[in-house]
Structure 1
Amino acid sequence: MTDVVQNGQAKRVSNSAIFAGCAVFVAGMVGAAYASVPLYRLFCQVTGYNGTTQRVEQYSEKILDRTIQVTFDANISSGLNWEFKPARMVNPKIGETIQIEYTATNRSPRPTTGSAVFNVTPMEAGAYFNKVECFCFTEQTLQPGETVKMPVVFYVDPEIAKADETRNIKTITLSYTFYPSEPGKPVAALPEGNKAVDKKL
């Protein structure tokens, strides 16, 4: 009889241990899912992986006597009734700091908020495309019918001319896509902080 009781208790302990282990595993997987996006974002920002541009605080101290063509692309996802226009193509010197402006218009009858994700092609150039200021660092809320200019201040790192995989790149394309978002709930793929965009035309 004692053996039966002990075996029953052992089974209950074993089942409890398995349940606790499963609960810990599930909790760990959920935590990993939430952590994976910012960790992936950080990895992309540091390495330029997948065409992710770099965010910097300072301007380049070196300017090469060589230009590079930079073109711009603008996209709006479904669910956001905006018109979004890219800047004109520019040909800055490598290392030269330059400012361009995108333009966005809210075509809906109510205030709407959007967040922009971005990338650079060719992807190898992402690690050398440095943004000092960008409207993509924060959410953007537009009033009905409002049109805003959205500046981007950037330069192409002179090191792009040295690396074997990038030295022959002649054209870089900076692309943005705006997605609808709720105020206070930024898209996980976006860097945090920075100044709000100037909304004066």
Structure 2
Amino acid sequence: MSEKLKDNNVDQKNRRIGLICGGIFCAMVGVSFAAVPLYDMFCRATGFGGTPMRVEQVSDVILDRTITVRFDSNTSPGLPWEFKPKERQVELRIGETAEAFYVARNKADVATAGTASFNVSPELAGAYFNKLECFCFTEQELQPGQAYEMPVQFFVDPEIVNVPELKNIKTITLSYTFHPLTKATAEVQAPAAKKRIGG
């Protein structure tokens, strides 16, 4: 009888340990799926890794000092688009709001879709590069031969001059990369702030 009780206690302990291990495994799987969006939210909130900050209002301080913002564009393999900035660079005062345009054109004879990611270099400047409007992470679909102008509105936070590593910075590069999407993996939406220029 005591042997049976002992076996039952061992079985209960093994079940409990199995449930705990299963719970830990499920939690780890959940955390791994949440890691990418959480990391993206962290980068957008802090400017970590050269991710520009997203803001709702313009700067109320504009300095006399100017800075050059260069525009870079890339397209991932598998997306038959021509993608480039309308201007290669712009010079503006720190704190001043500026607007730039990128143009994407579908070179394929079928509709294709993409979404853009972005970063700023030097990375440390990402926390001081503020975007008011942009086309990043918006799913875009272009018909054969169609082209769209996509605006980005931004300013460089005047606080950048108080950062020892950035106080003498002369140039910031804003870089976008378009990645392919398929209709099977994403519901494609037409962006609200894009202007058709051909097609």
Q: TM-score, normalised by structure 1?
A: 0.89
> Which residue identity is paired with 1:107?
K
For residues 104 and 35 of structure 1, the distance between their equivalents in structure 2, rounded to whole angstroms, comes to 31
Structure 2 partner of 1:70: 69
**Cα deviation, residue 182, structure 1:** 3.9
* CA shift digits 1:148-198 (9 cap, x unpaired): 111111111111112212111100000011111245748xxxxxxxx6232
Q: Which range moves more in the overlay, 168-177 or 28-37? A: 28-37
Q: Indicate if the aligned counterparts of 1:138 and 1:196 stay in contact, CA closer than 8 A.
A: no
Structure 1 partner of 2:135: 135
For residues 52 and 27 of structure 1, the distance between their equivalents in structure 2, rounded to whole angstroms, comes to 31
Q: Indicate if the aligned counterparts of 2:160 and 2:166 stay in contact, CA closer than 8 A.
A: yes
Structure 1 partner of 2:4: 5
SS in 1 for 2:196: coil
For residues 55 and 8 of structure 1, the distance between their equivalents in structure 2, rounded to whole angstroms, comes to 61
- The answer for unaligned runs of 5 or more in structure 1 is 187-194
SS in 1 for 2:91: coil
For residues 33 and 199 of structure 1, the distance between their equivalents in structure 2, rounded to whole angstroms, comes to 38
**Cα deviation, residue 137, structure 1:** 4.3
Structure 1 partner of 2:24: 25
Q: Which range moves more in the overlay, 142-151 or 35-44? A: 35-44
For residues 98 and 74 of structure 2, the distance between their equivalents in structure 1, rounded to whole angstroms, comes to 22
Structure 2 partner of 1:92: 92
Structure 1 partner of 2:162: 162
- The answer as to 2:55 corresponding to 1:59 is no
The aligned length equals 192
Structure 2 partner of 1:83: 82
Q: Indicate if the aligned counterparts of 2:106 and 2:143 stay in contact, CA closer than 8 A.
A: yes
> Which residue identity is paired with 1:158?
P
For residues 62 and 152 of structure 2, the distance between their equivalents in structure 1, rounded to whole angstroms, comes to 19
> Which residue identity is paired with 1:114?
G
Structure 2 partner of 1:198: 194
Q: Indicate if the aligned counterparts of 2:149 and 2:195 stay in contact, CA closer than 8 A.
A: yes
For residues 195 and 26 of structure 2, the distance between their equivalents in structure 1, rounded to whole angstroms, comes to 43
Q: Indicate if the aligned counterparts of 2:146 and 2:196 stay in contact, CA closer than 8 A.
A: no
For residues 199 and 26 of structure 1, the distance between their equivalents in structure 2, rounded to whole angstroms, comes to 48
**Cα deviation, residue 49, structure 1:** 0.9
For residues 29 and 91 of structure 1, the distance between their equivalents in structure 2, rounded to whole angstroms, comes to 47
Q: TM-score, normalised by structure 2?
A: 0.90
* CA shift digits 1:90-137 (9 cap, x unpaired): 001111111111111111222221111110000111011000000114
Q: Indicate if the aligned counterparts of 2:73 and 2:176 stay in contact, CA closer than 8 A.
A: yes
For residues 147 and 196 of structure 2, the distance between their equivalents in structure 1, rounded to whole angstroms, comes to 9
For residues 108 and 14 of structure 1, the distance between their equivalents in structure 2, rounded to whole angstroms, comes to 62
> Which residue identity is paired with 1:52?
T
**Cα deviation, residue 42, structure 1:** 1.9
